[in-house]
Amino acid sequence: MKKNRSILGKKKCYGCAACVDVCPSNAIELKLDENGFLQPQIDLSVCLNCGLCSRFCIEQKDVGLSNEGVLRMYAVWSLEPEVREGSASGGAFSQIAISFLRKGGRRVVFAVGHFESDVLHHEMFFNECDFVRWQNSKYVQSDMSGTYKKVYNKLKDGYLVLFSGTPCQVSALNLYLIGKSYDGTLFTIDIVCHGVPSYKLIEMSSRLTGSSISKFRTKDAGWGLEAKRVVYKNGVVSKKHSDDVFYLMFESDRFLRKSCYTCPFSRLPRVGDLSIGDYWGDLSFLKKEDVEKGVSLVLRNTEKGDRLLAIVEHSINKIETRNIEDVLLNNPNVFTNSSELAEISDSDKLWLIKYFDFRYVREFLVFGKIGGYFLNSKKRNRLIQQKRTRVKDMVSNMKSVL
């Protein structure tokens, strides 16, 4: 197997795996690279050079967006306590998926499921019981290999299909289905994506705690930016959001896939019929007890989105927000991608975490913090520029002696 350099370089590839499913000779596989990101690899001995992988590549072909209707934004939470409690925020997606399946008939939900060989995979869910087993957010990119074919096959069989994924995955599915005929109906939900981090962050979290992650978010301390907790299989629960290596490195924006920094899909109009994420921002119009249990942000993008919301009409609280400016200010990934703040290579950043005290790296790379004090933005930006050079030199020098 050799890496496929004929499709894209690593900085442009989104890891959506559409090329895997369109390849007629099964020459392409998605594999974790040395920095913990899913990358397509091609077996040149069976490649037909047909060019389908390029024709169905979302980086090389703009699918275009038809979601030009009336955009509405809602604060949403499930009225079913177990659904809301088991979800990372207000349970909007879980409630929609569960209610969708409860309608019966030929229906299927495609969403992230379980880890297999340390990689997250998309799965098909035909009933509520199976779906609930894998409920809750997972903060890494799923392997979509084979999923596009499965969605199309279900649509050909006349199924109502609900698909949830990152904006690039939804866009890739839309491109994959262009020109294909089917009798079923596809509904799509894109998540408000912060960007996908390296699988190495999970590996490092496990190394530091002595156990693998069991749950990426628990509500034992309530809901909110500072209430996030990671649960590990050995029973350890991170005491504070700011002390957990996975969250700190993920939310620092330094450890995302390279293409996430220039992602064209985190924008308005959105690619899905609905867009769902955490509702960060002014929630003073809600009761305190409602906020503490988690609130989802839901964007209605299309008429199909209305149909999905109608399914859960009696199972959710839905309050339309008029303060769109506040929503966008506090949820910038609704309309823009995560900016790259540090020009340090993936391998060097991961190397730093491995060989240096975590607390030092946290302050140095994440917080822009010197001597325990936070810097104002102008000083911080100036020091970040200085740190780029210092970190590169430090890594270069220390690699030569280790």
Q: How far is CA 131 from CA 210, 363, 389, in A?
A: 29, 39, 47
149-192: pLDDT as tens digits = 999 999 999 999 999 999 999 999 999 999 999 999 999 999 99
All structural domains of the chain, each given as residue ranges with its CATH number in brackets, are 2-55 (3.30.70.20), 72-196+257-334 (no CATH), 200-255+338-399 (no CATH)
Identity of the amino acid at 157: D
Angle between helix axes 200-209 and 346-355 (nearest 10 degrees) is 0
11-29: pLDDT as tens digits = 889 999 999 999 999 999 9
In this model, does residue 311 exceed pLDDT 50? yes
pLDDT for the residue 399? 42
For every residue of 221-246, DSSP letters joined together read: T-SSTT----EETTS-B-S-GGG-HH
Query: Around Cβ 291, how many Cβ atoms within 10 Å?
Result: 19
Question: What pTM was computed for the model?
Answer: 0.80
Q: How far apart are CA 313 and CA 279, in angstroms?
A: 19
Nearest to residue 127, comparing CAs of 108, 150, 153, 145? 108
